[in-house]
Amino acid sequence: MGLSREDVIKVAQLARLELSEAEIAALTSQLGDVLTYIEQLSKLDTEGVEPMAHAVEMVNVLAEDVIEESFDREQILSNAPSRDDTCYRVPPVLGE
């Protein structure tokens, strides 16, 4: 199954990636090749097979509800690209 230029642009929107024209062209053909290869899976009958999401299938591993020391706010904020005294700073999300 091939992939169109429009598919690539739409997926890039979903993935929050800005792509150049050259990247769009390259990805259209490269991802198309990979999807064509992967198409072999459709030949395989998997009717009734339980999907396997994890190699070790553990569920609901619970931790004791104990209060432990957490990271220092200043230490965590020191990695922020933009911040004020106590918060991360981000561009406006709502209109002016």
Partner 1 sequence: MTLIEQSATELLGLLKRREVSSRELTGAYLDQIDAHDQQIHAFLRTDRDRALQQADLIDRRRAQGESLGSLGGLPVAVKDVLCTRGAVTSCASKMLENYVPPYDATPIARLKEADAVILGKTNMDEFAMGGSCENSAFGPTRNPWDTERIPGGSSGGAAASLAASMTPLSIGTDTGGSIRQPASHCGVVGLKPTYGRVSRYGLIAFASSLDAVGPLARTAEDVALLLGVIAGHDARDSTSIVQPVGDYRAATRRPLEGLRLGVVSEHFGEGLDPEVAQTVRDAIDLFKDLGATVREIAMPHSQYAISAYYIIAPSEASSNLARYDGAHYGMRAPEAEWRDGGAEENPLVQMYRSTRAEGFGAEVKRRIMLGTYALSAGYYDAYYLKALKVRRLIAQDYHDAFEQVDLIVGPVTPSPAFKLGDKSEDPLSMYLVDLYTVGANLAGIPAISLPCGFSSDRLPIGIQLQGAALSEELLLQAAGAYQGQTTWHSQRPELA
Q: Which residues bind partner 1 (CB under 8 A)?
A: 3, 7-8, 11-19, 23, 26-27, 30-31, 33-35, 37-38, 40-42, 44, 46, 49-56, 58, 61, 63, 71-72, 75-76, 78-82, 88, 90-95
CA distances from 35 to 13, 38, 73 (A): 19, 5, 44
- Our CB check for partner 1 shows the closer of 84 and 95 to be 95
Nearest approach in angstroms of CB 78 to partner 1 is 7
Nearest approach in angstroms of CB 84 to partner 1 is 13
In whole angstroms, what is the distance from residue 71 CA to residue 78 CA? 12
83 φ, ψ (degrees, to nearest 5): -155, 165
Nearest approach in angstroms of CB 38 to partner 1 is 4
Among 36, 12, 37, residue whose Cα is nearest residue 24: 12
